[in-house]
Amino acid sequence: LSLFCNVRESAVIQALDVPHIYDVPMAYHKEGLDSEVLAAFGIDPAPKPRMEPWQKVSDRIHSPEGEVTIAIVGKYTGLKDAYKSLIEALSHGGLANHVKVKLDWIESEIFEKEDPTPWLEKVHGILVPGGFGERGSEGKILAAKFARERKVPYFGICFGMQMACIEAARSLAGVEHASSTEFGPTEEPVVGLMTEWLKGNMLEKRRETGDLGGTMRLGAYQADLAKGSKIADIYGDTQISERHRHRYEVNIDYKERLEECGLVFAGMS
C-alpha cells in the first residue's frame, strides 16, 4: 500500500477487527494512528497519550469479576436499537462495578398469556423501559408485580415507572381499576396527561382532547429529591436538574394513598 499509494509506510494503518468496540482506541494506538494524526497537524512534540483508562476498560470487559442478568421487559424488543442508550448505560454500569451484564430480552405481551415466573425467577434485576400505547402494558404491570413480590430490583423508566405505580395502586392501595388516561377514559386515572406546567416563566397548557403533536414536556427541569432517599444519596444532593421527555405523569391526587401503602415519592419535578 505504501509503495503503490504514495503513502509513507508508517501512515498505513490497519483497521483490525477487535472483540469489543471499546478495544478500538487501544488497537489504533498500537497501530500508531494517534501519532500520525498529530504529525499531520504539525503537533510535534506531542504529549504522551494517557491510554491507561482505556486499558482499564478493556481489562474489565475481558476479565470481569462476576456476571449479572438483567431482564428487559419491553414492547420493541424485536428492534434492539430502539433501546441503544439503555444497552450502553447498562454496559457502563457493569464496567464500573467489574461485572459482565447479560441482557434477557422479553416481549411484555408474553406475560399477558404466560406466567412470568419461568422468565424472571433467575434474573438479578428487571428493567421496564419507556413505550407508548396500551399494547403490552398489562405485561409490564405483571413484571412490576413479580419484582415487588419477589423483592427483585426493579427499574422503571418513564412508562415502566408509570406501570409500577398502577400495579401498586391496584395491589396495595385497593384501587382496583387503576389505569392511565393514555389508554382511554378511566374512572381511576392514576397516570394522566400533563395539562399544564411551567417552562421558565411561561405556563405551558395542554388539553386532553387536543392534538398530541408537539405536546411533550421537553428539556431540563429542576427536581427536588427526598432527603435520605437512595436517589439523593446517588446524586449527593437534594436539588438536581435533568432533561425530561414525557406527556404523562402520576396523578398527584393519588400520592397520599400510594405513600400510605409504602411507595416513596423520592423525586418531584
pLDDT category at 202 given cuts 50, 70, 90 is low
Contacts of 103-106 with CB under 8 Å at 24 or more apart are 103/69, 103/70, 103/71, 103/72, 104/69, 104/70, 104/71, 104/72, 105/72, 105/74, 105/77, 105/80, 106/71, 106/72, 106/73, 106/74, 106/77, 106/143
Rounded to the nearest 10 degrees, the angle between the axes of helix 84-96 and helix 52-62 is 100
Task: State the cell numbers at 49.
Answer: 497519550
Instruction: Report the predicted TM-score, pTM, of the whole model to 2 decimal places.
Output: 0.86
pLDDT category at 267 given cuts 50, 70, 90 is very high
* Residue 19: Cβ-neighbour burial (10 angstroms; 0-12, 13-18, 19+): exposed
Is pLDDT at 100 greater than 80 in this prediction? yes
Contact 25, 54 (CB under 8 A): yes
Q: Would you report the helix, strand and coil content of the chain in percent, each value rounded to 5? A: 40, 25, 35
Average pLDDT, the chain: 91
Is pLDDT at 6 greater than 90 in this prediction? no
CA separation for the pair 221, 269 (Å, rounded): 7
Contact 182, 134 (CB under 8 A): yes
Contact 252, 197 (CB under 8 A): no
pLDDT in tens, 204-236: 666 655 555 556 788 888 999 999 999 999 999
What is the reported pLDDT for 4?
A: 87
Is pLDDT at 19 greater than 90 in this prediction? yes
Task: State the cell numbers at 113.
Answer: 398469556
What is the reported pLDDT for 171?
A: 97
Residue position matching grid coordinates 395491589: 171
pLDDT category at 8 given cuts 50, 70, 90 is confident
User: How many CB atoms neighbour CB 103 within 10 A?
Assistant: 18
The mean pLDDT value for 123-148 works out to 96
Stated as kind and residue range, the H or E segment containing 99 is strand 99-107
* Structural domains in the chain plus CATH codes: 2-56 (no CATH), 66-171 (3.40.50.880)
pLDDT in tens, 57-96: 999 999 999 999 999 999 999 999 999 999 999 999 999 9
Is pLDDT at 30 greater than 80 in this prediction? yes
What is the reported pLDDT for 214?
A: 59
Which amino acid, one-letter code, is at 78?
A: G
The mean pLDDT value for 25-45 works out to 92
The mean pLDDT value for 89-111 works out to 97
CA separation for the pair 194, 209 (Å, rounded): 12
Could you tell me which residues are beta bridge partners of residue 197? 204
What is the reported pLDDT for 12?
A: 92
pLDDT category at 33 given cuts 50, 70, 90 is very high
pLDDT category at 50 given cuts 50, 70, 90 is very high
User: How many CB atoms neighbour CB 225 within 10 A?
Assistant: 20
Task: State the cell numbers at 140.
Answer: 409490564
